[in-house]
Amino acid sequence: MAGLDNIPQKQSIEIEIVKLDEKILQSITDLNQKSANIINEFGQIYIRKREIENELISLNEILEKGEDEFKAANFQLKEIVDALDETYPQGRINLKEGTIQYQPGAPTRKQQAEQQAQQQQEQSSGNGMKVVKE
């Protein structure tokens, strides 16, 4: 029965109840309410932040789609203008009147760009000096 000696014995604990001062009780109540209000505000801020983040994601998607559409429209416009330039070199389009003014026999913008690129290549391949015969 030596094992029974090692079992803790019940002890009696004395508990008293005291009425708290009204000011302390009011301070605790006020601070608990303030904490609850702050937690509520944090929750509202968190939810609004998530809404804004979702809106930004949506706006970015719209922006990317708009950029793609803008690039496609500009590409199509360039193709039309380039095709017109082949038929009407150095043309100036008047959208209001629906006319084009051009220089027959003039080089197209594409031909001009190729000539400029060739000249730049010739200048960069040489030493930059030109021989002039008098």
The answer to the question of residue 92 being in a domain is yes
Q: From residue 59, how far is each of 30, 41, 47, 54, 104 by CA, in Å?
A: 43, 26, 18, 9, 48
Domain residue limits at 38: 20-113
Q: What's the pLDDT tens digit per position in 58-81?
A: 999 999 999 999 999 999 999 999
> For 11-33, what is each residue's pLDDT tens digit?
788 889 999 999 999 999 999 99
**Residue 89 covered by a domain:** yes
Count up the domains in the chain and report the number: 1
What is the Cα–Cα distance from 94 to 64, expressed in whole angstroms?
A: 32
Is the pLDDT score of 125 beyond 80?
Answer: no
- Single-letter code of the amino acid located at 122: E
54 in a structural domain: yes
- For residue 131, is it within any domain? no
Domain contains 132: no
CB 80 within 8 A of CB 91: no
The answer to the question of residue 78 being in a domain is: yes
b (16+ CB within 10 A) / e for 77-98: eeeeeeeebeebbebeeeeeee
**28 occurs within a structural domain:** yes
